[in-house]
Structure 1
Amino acid sequence: MNIEELRDYCLSLPATSEDLPFDETSLVFKVGNKMFALTDLEGPFWINLKCAPEKAIELREQYPAVKPGYHMNKKHWNTIEVDGSIPDNLLKQWIKESYDLVIKGMTRKERERLFIFVCP
């Protein structure tokens, strides 16, 4: 996976937007106003993704490229070094799981407002 593939996949998820809220290189993907993925446009390629706490620990133990979330709540976020050691389909699965966790944390009203065009 490269940065363009990450961007294309994230933006393919319903109600997703991208933003540079922190600086000119920190690219954030949000569903509604809530972040589900973060990467940097410069330097080594990595992705911060939200993760269920128990699974976050499992992934860190199983994959050397998965670390506690850099500059994030380490209980709920992982930083994944995209170095080719993790297959693209698995990265996409983790991105979708992060997206789903964020949606799950929204109120029903927030979900309805975001997805009214998807689920009439």
Structure 2
Amino acid sequence: MDAPALASVAFEVGEQFPAVTREQPFGPDVEVLKVRGRVFLLVMGTPERPLVTVKTDPYDGEQLRGAFPDIAPGYHMNKRHWISVSPDGPVDDDMLRELVTDSYRLVVAGLPARERPVDPERFGLPG
């Protein structure tokens, strides 16, 4: 996926989810999407070379890092639970959409049940 599309697709997907806010808590160079105050997506770097960071299951993250050269441990995040996707690699739109959705689901699952805007077990699944 090319650099302009990487950040654009990540925000397009993440901003459509319920209870999401877009913030810049770390300054103007880092855009963050949060659900109920908890981060599930970070986009940092420059428009020419953005880096998208999402939460992941530790096992899935390990597998993804091994299979895709454009996926690395989460930049400035817990390396077991976060991955960063860089542009110009084999990750395509569909996969990035899935990674952002999974990140949202994982963060929502960690919220107290009364604060969850969706059922994390069913959200984003067909049917």
TM-score w.r.t. structure 1 length? 0.87
Gaps in structure 1 of 5+ consecutive residues: 116-120
Rounded Cα–Cα distance in structure 2 between residues aligned with 1:49 and 1:105: 15
Q: Is the aligned partner of 1:46 residue 2:62?
A: no
**Are 1:39 and 1:48, in contact at CA under 8 Å, matched by a contact in 2?**
yes
Higher RCO (CA < 8 A, seq sep 6+): 2
Equivalent residues in 2 for 1:95-114, closer than 5 Å:
95-111=100-116, 114=117
Match in the other structure for 2:84 = 79
Q: Secondary structure at the match of 1:82?
A: coil
Q: Which has the higher helix share?
A: 1
Q: Contact between 1:38 and 1:47, CA under 8 Å: does it hold in 2? A: yes
Task: Report how many residues are paired.
Answer: 113
Mark the runs of 5 or more structure 2 residues left unpaired by the alignment. 119-127
Q: CA RMSD in A?
A: 1.4
- Runs of 4+ in structure 1 deviating by more than 2 angstroms, as ranges, are 1-6
Q: 8 Å contact 2:71–2:86 — kept in the other structure?
A: yes
- Normalising by structure 2, report the TM-score: 0.82
Whether 1:4 aligns to 2:8 is: yes
Does the CA-based 8 Å contact 1:45-1:83 persist in structure 2? no
State the identity as a percent: 30
